[in-house]
Structure 1
Amino acid sequence: MSKQIAKKKKLPVLEDIHGAKYPLKEELASGGQGIVYATELPETLIKGFTSKDELARTSWREHIAWLIRQDLQDLKLARPLVLLKEPRMGYAMELMDGLIPLSDLFDSFIKASDDISEENPTPHIQDYLDQGGLKRRIGILCQLARTLNQLHSRGMLYGDISPDNIFISDDVDHTETWLIDCDNISFESHSGLAVHTPEYGAPELVRGEAMLSSMTDCWSFSVVAYQLLTHNHPLKGNLVNDGEPEVEDEAFRGEHPWINDPDNFDNESFTNLPIQLLEHSNLPELFQQTFGPGMNSAIQRPTMAQWLEALTEVDEHLFSCPECGGYSLLPIEELDHDEIPCFFCDENIAGELVLFEEFVQLSEQEKDDKYPDLKDKRIATGRIVCIQPGESKELKRLLPSFSYDKVPSDHIQLEYDDEKLVITPVEPLHISRGDDKIQEFKKKVPLKTSRKGNDPEPYCIHLGNPNETHVIWQFGW
Structure 2
Amino acid sequence: MSAKKSVKPSRVVQDTKGSNYELGNELSRGGQGIVYFTQYPQVLIKGFTNKDPQVRERWRQHIAWLVRQDLAGLKIARPLVPLAEPRCGYVMELMDGLESLQNLLESYVAAGEDAGKDYLQQGGLRRRVRILCQLARTLNQLHARGMLYGDLSPSNIFVSDDPAYAETWLIDCDNISLESYSGLSLHTADYGAPEVVRGDALLSSLTDVWSFAVIAYQLLTHNHPFKGELVSDGDPEEEDAALRGERPWICDAQDDANECFVNLPIQLLEHSGLPALFARCFEQGLERPAERPGMAEWLVALTEIDERMIECEHCAGATLVAQSLDSLDEASCFFCDKPLDDTAVLFEEFISLPKDAEDNDTGKAFATGRKIWLQQGKSVELKRLMPTFSYDRWPTDHIAIEYTEQGLSITPLADASLHLARGATVKLLERRQGLRANLRGQHAEHYTLHVGELAEPHVFWQFGW
TM-score band, normalised by shorter chain: over 0.9
Report the counterpart of residue 83 of structure 1 in structure 2.
Answer: 82
Query: Does residue 468 in structure 1 map to residue 459 in structure 2?
Result: no
The 5 A counterparts of 1:53-452 are 53-113=52-112, 124-365=115-356, 377-396=364-383, 397-400=385-388, 401-404=390-393, 407-408=395-396, 411-425=398-412, 426-427=414-415, 428-436=417-425, 438-452=426-440
Moved more, 128-137 or 377-386: 377-386
AA partner of residue 400 (structure 2)? Q
Q: Offset of 1:262 from its aligned partner?
A: 1.3
Distance in 2 (CA, whole Å) between partners of 1:31 and 1:71 is: 25
Deviations 1:70-120 (A, max 9, x none): 11121000100111111111111000111110000111121234x6xxxxx
The one-letter code of the counterpart of 1:23 is E
Q: CA deviation at 1:7?
A: 11
Change (3 A) 1:455 1:156: same
Uncovered stretches (5+) of structure 1, i.e. residues with no partner: 1-5, 116-122
Between the aligned partners of 1:355 and 1:65, the Cα distance in structure 2 is 50
CA drift at 1:351: 2.5
Query: Given residue 165 of structure 2, which amino acid in structure 1 is its aligned partner?
Result: H
Paired residue secondary structure (1:164): helix
The CA distance in 2 between the partners of 1:179 and 1:8, in whole Å, is 24
Alignment check: 8 A CA contact 1:430 1:462 kept: yes
Residue 30 of structure 1 and its aligned partner are, at CA, apart by 1.7
Q: After TM superposition, give the deviation of residue 404 of structure 1 in Å.
A: 2.5
Aligned with residue 444 of structure 2, among 437, 453, 456: 456
Partners of 1:11 and 1:25 within 8 A in 2: no
CA RMSD between the two structures? 2.0
- Distance in 2, matches of 1:390 and 1:421, equals 10
Deviations 1:363-397 (A, max 9, x none): 1228957xx7x9x8322221111111222222222
Q: Deviation at 1:418?
A: 2.4
2:420 maps to amino acid: I
Q: Write the deviation string for residues 29-69 of structure 1: whole angstroms up to 9, x where unpaired.
A: 22322011000112000000011111111111110011011
1:354 and 1:445 map into 2 onto residues whose CA distance is 17
Secondary structure in structure 1 of the residue aligned to 2:462: strand
Say if 1:224 and 1:367 are closer, same or farther in 2 by CA, change over 3 A: farther
Q: Is the 8 A contact 1:339 1:350 kept in 2?
A: no
Quick one: distance in 2 between partners of 1:9 and 1:41? 13
Shift of 1:440: 1.1
**Which stretch shows the higher mean deviation, 338-347 or 324-333?**
338-347
CA separation of 1:413 and 1:366: change in aligned 2, threshold 3 A: farther
Contact 2:147/2:178 (8 A) holds in 1: yes
1: CA distance, partners of 2:296 / 2:7: 45
In the alignment, structure 2 segments of 5+ residues that lack a partner are none
Q: How far 1:350 sits from its partner (Å)?
A: 4.8
Determine the C-alpha separation between the residues in 1 that align with 2:39 and 2:354: 63
- Which runs of at least 4 in structure 1 moved beyond 6 Å after TM superposition? 6-9
Q: CA deviation at 1:423?
A: 1.9
Partner of 1:19: 18
Deviations 1:393-445 (A, max 9, x none): 2222211333327x526x32222222232222222301111221x22112222
Aligned equivalents of 1:82 and 1:257: distance in 2?
Answer: 45
Contact residue 134 and residue 229 of structure 1 kept, 8 A: yes
Instruction: Find the aligned partners of 1:366 and 1:392 in 2 and give their Cα distance.
Output: 39
Distance 1:381 1:29, change over 3 A: closer
**Do the aligned partners of 2:7 and 2:38 also contact (CA within 8 Å) in 1?**
no
**How many equivalent pairs are there?**
457
The code of the aligned residue for 2:410 comes to I
Distance in 1 (CA, whole Å) between partners of 2:280 and 2:255 is: 15
- The code of the aligned residue for 1:151 comes to L
Query: CA offsets per residue over residues 333-378 of structure 1, 9 Å max, x none?
Result: 3444533322223333352211001122221228957xx7x9x832
Per-residue deviation at 1:274? Answer: 1.3
- When residues 473 and 449 of structure 1 are mapped into structure 2, their CA distance, relative to the original with a 3 A threshold, is same
Q: Distance in 1 between matches of 2:10 and 2:324?
A: 59
The 3-state SS of whatever aligns with 1:23 is strand
* Range with greater deviation from structure 2 (450-459 or 145-154): 450-459
